[in-house]
Structure 1
Amino acid sequence: MSTFLEIALFGTCAVRLKARDTIEIRGAKHRALIAILATAPMGRRTRTFLQNTLWGYSGYDCGHQNLRRALADLRKLLGSEFDTLFHTTNTDVELDLERLRFIGDARNGAFLEDLNVAEKDFRKWVASVRENPAQVEALCGHLPPATLRSPRPSVTMLPLGHLGNDPSLKALGDWIGEQACRVLSRSRFLSVISHLSGRAMAEKTTLVTEVQKTLGVDYLTTGFLRRSANGIICDIDFLDAKSGQILWNRNFQIANMRQLDDAELQIEHIARTVAKSISDTAITSSRLQPLNDVSDQNLLISGVGLMHRATMRDFLKSRDFLSEATNRQPNLAETHAWLAKWYVLNVMKGYSMDQKRDTQLAVDCTAKALDLNPESSLSLTIDGFTHNNLVHDFSTADKRFETALDVNPNESLAWLLRGSLKAFLNDGESAVSSNQQARNLSPIDPFSYYYDSLASTAYIAADDFENALVYANRSLATNDRHLSTHRAKITALHFLNRQDEARTAAEDLLRIWPSYSLQHYERSHPVSQEKLGRRALTAMAASGIS
């Protein structure tokens, strides 16, 4: 790897780009920004954290503009190497830790000794590291490479090509690539290479081997535009970038370039298919390998993917992958958070042989995750999930969701589970609005059945039984093994006075869970005695569940 950043954290903070030429980064806040990213788990921090730490609380717009200006300065200084080193989204900034080299150690002086950045939060952060410099030395110098490697497959979409010199087709092809990258970047399981990098590569070459070598992507989406009698045909190919193999191709038509709403929906569908294909490929590969041979990125995707599948076998297998991920990535908060969710679902699905033990394990996992990264919106969200569904501490759950959304307003899972909490608290309007926000923020989530299931519950809390039934049916069409979705469907049908259908739905539930009873629901569900729970009990009793 010929391009990397060299950084000295102790004594004088020196940051240099080591490529064909050596470029010194001299600005104090530019060096401070890189130091914060270099010492962060996975090299990633939220934009909110960076804005507040480096520019204080002078207002969102001011901090937002200052961070954008600093990143623009670095892009201008580093040129094309910026996109090799940094990955930015509308919520996060990430530094590729594999392209980072640390020089010097604590013997060279105090941590960031010469960086005189005045903001209070920055000084507090520096002081906390100086009190325990070993944490930085451990993070940067002594952990195995797997700890520093982002366990996410990388993907990009190149602008679509075309024949001839047609400016309108060129603009359309670039827009489709940009839109696809924007939608894909909303997935927490993918590392999406900047569309600007994809555009620069497309101008130089379309050889898959060259794109893979330069951008380091695992998967690549590309394609071609051609005119037809009825408009413009868009042919899309999805490839394994390392082998060059075409995994699938799709096409869609744009009838009118002035009306692109339908095209946006098609692009969203393409992005969703890409995300699902990557997930399915990871799971298939992981199943065929001994656990020790599964790659870091496939471990996490497989663990989370199987956790949300219908069968008990897949669910139980997911714990093996997630436990191995925490062993390989002990300093990555995300792995502990997902393992915590597994324990919550193990209890909720009725698989647990010791609910008290699994509840404590879920609490322990989220505590570990938050110890590693107190500002992890995912970890805060799963901790709220644990307190909501297992500990039945709604006040703490609400605080966790609110904090997660303060850290990252675009954390779709926090919006989703906040909606579930609001439904539990009989606030149907907030439950529905939170669920809708979650769905808007995560249009390509591979676990859409879960979003649909909780949407059904939210609409029941809002007395909208028609929509509750629509979303319950949509969820069951994807995963018919989710108990709460069956319960929501029975409840919606009962309160729509469709009793025969409600009884049929109850029979479907009992066919999968023959021993399920009203007593089990009353004993295990956190709101069985609240309005939402009483509705479910009434509906199930009237539909033949005793």
Structure 2
Amino acid sequence: VGNLIADGVIWRLSKSANLKVISRLSTAVFRGRTSDLGQVSAHLGAAYVLSGAYVANGSQIMVTAELSAARDDQVIWTDRLSGSVEDLLRPESEMADRIARAVHFAVFDAEVDHILTQPLPTLESYSLLLGAIKLMHRSTREEFLQTRNILEELINRHGRIAAPRAWLGHWYILRLTRGWSEDRTRDAAEALATTHAALDRDPSDALALAAEGFVYCHLFKDLDMARRRCEAAVLANPSHALGWLFLGTVDAFKGDGAAAVHETQRAMELSPLDPMRYYFESLSATAALSAHDYATAERLARSSLALNRMHPSTWRALTIALVLQGRMEEARSTLAKVREVDPTLTVETYLARMPNAQLETGREWARCLALAGLPSGNGNSKRH
């Protein structure tokens, strides 16, 4: 039973592209020993150690698990879970999934706390990268802006590696879509230079190709070029979740809803424990809007907001889904949330940002926001 739990958790954690998980066969040697955390970490080169115990009673099992950070010998997560042995025999064990999901998010949260309290030169590169990925998607502008310094530190340390530059390209996209860009033209040029530099180092890097695709999508509004780059990303690595997510979003903007839904679903299947889960669900809601599946768009948007209530595009997607279901009072209430997180938004600024402003999808979504009460550029609500 213990082996089933360990194998299930390891398999789920290994599906994440951002965590390197050590095989159970390598860790089994420490089972039943009194070795302390430092010894385990030193032998395995592990930054975190997941340990625990279980008690079986007939067909039921109680599991106690804890996750410790090797750097300071501190427990950062612990829980007690109960379930059935039958569940552990399933390929998609609920208990193993719960443990893996909790461990995954605990690691990312710990790395964010670590980089916020330590000077950059003292931090290991893996801490910087994991922390930057999570911090980039935090809600405050100050934390978001700090991420750029972290990524630039990684670029300085690892000049030949594409990943930090690719994530920096993604940073520019998020700054625009959150309404924080002060100069779109400058940001577009810097973002493209960043992704070009990443691809110079590795022309087949899926992350760099996907990031450049989204740069063309959001910063240049060139959906055809964006799609070619995203297609190249998933051809280079068919298991690259962000490549599929961005490809699906581009197809959603272009109005190919069926393809968009397929591609964003593929993305979520490939990264079920992603620290940016809210982002995956938010863009999947956009895909569902394009496919005219408004109930699914609402469900995905609400699920995304449960993880991050400060992402403006999710509130916009929910507003649009409610309008298209004829639920106007709820849509107006939701739009108030849009204005809270993005107070400068108007119909005109929305269309100015959106890469599909000249397409049917963009015009329809702008009309829905206006019907919910979003003001036009002169401060009056635009009604159609």
Give the structure-1-normalised TM-score: 0.66
Identity percentage of aligned residues? 33
Moved more, 385-394 or 462-471: 385-394
Aligned position for 1:329: 158
- Does residue 257 (structure 1) correspond to residue 89 (structure 2)? The answer is no
Number of aligned pairs?
375
Aligned position for 1:484: 313
- Does residue 355 (structure 1) correspond to residue 184 (structure 2)? The answer is yes
| Structure 1: gaps (5+ residues) | 1-171
- Does residue 542 (structure 1) correspond to residue 371 (structure 2)? The answer is yes
1:388 is aligned, of 217, 229, 234, to 217
Superposed CA RMSD: 1.9
- Asked if structure 2 preserves the Cα contact closer than 8 Å seen for 1:306 and 1:315, the reply is yes
Aligned position for 1:417: 246
Residues 206-355 of structure 1: matches in 2 within 5 Å? 207-228=36-57, 231-257=60-86, 260-261=89-90, 264-355=93-184
Closer/same/farther in 2, CA of residues 261 and 535 from structure 1, 3 Å limit:
farther
Aligned position for 2:357: 528
Distance 1:362 1:284 in 2: 27
Matched residue of 2:67: which SS?
A: strand
Matched residue of 1:539: which SS?
A: helix
- Does residue 495 (structure 1) correspond to residue 324 (structure 2)? The answer is yes
Deviation at 1:225, TM superposition (A): 1.8
Moved more, 510-519 or 447-456: 510-519
Deviation at 1:514, TM superposition (A): 2.3
Matched residue of 2:93: which SS?
A: helix
Deviation at 1:201, TM superposition (A): 4.2
Residue identity opposite 1:515 in structure 2? T
- Does residue 378 (structure 1) correspond to residue 207 (structure 2)? The answer is yes
Distance 1:482 1:188 in 2: 23
Distance 2:137 2:258 in 1: 27
- Asked if structure 1 preserves the Cα contact closer than 8 Å seen for 2:305 and 2:314, the reply is yes
Q: Which has the higher contact order (CA 8 A, sep 6+)?
A: 2
Deviation at 1:372, TM superposition (A): 0.7
Deviation at 1:258, TM superposition (A): 6.7
Distance 1:530 1:488 in 2: 17
- Does residue 178 (structure 1) correspond to residue 17 (structure 2)? The answer is no
Deviation at 1:445, TM superposition (A): 0.6
After superposition, the C-alpha distances for 1:204-257 in whole angstroms (9 at most, x for unaligned) are: 775433321211101011211212366111221212234443322222223243
Residue identity opposite 2:355 in structure 1? P
- Asked if structure 2 preserves the Cα contact closer than 8 Å seen for 1:394 and 1:421, the reply is yes
Closer/same/farther in 2, CA of residues 223 and 341 from structure 1, 3 Å limit:
same
Give the structure-2-normalised TM-score: 0.92
Deviation at 1:482, TM superposition (A): 1.4
| Structure 2: gaps (5+ residues) | 376-384
Distance 1:248 1:347 in 2: 35
After superposition, the C-alpha distances for 1:123-170 in whole angstroms (9 at most, x for unaligned) are: xxxxxxxxxxxxxxxxxxxxxxxxxxxxxxxxxxxxxxxxxxxxxxxx
Closer/same/farther in 2, CA of residues 380 and 200 from structure 1, 3 Å limit:
farther
Moved more, 291-300 or 324-333: 291-300
Deviation at 1:200, TM superposition (A): 4.2
Deviation at 1:515, TM superposition (A): 2.1
Deviation at 1:458, TM superposition (A): 0.8
1:433 is aligned, of 256, 259, 262, to 262
Closer/same/farther in 2, CA of residues 226 and 263 from structure 1, 3 Å limit:
farther
Deviation at 1:541, TM superposition (A): 1.0
Deviation at 1:193, TM superposition (A): 1.5
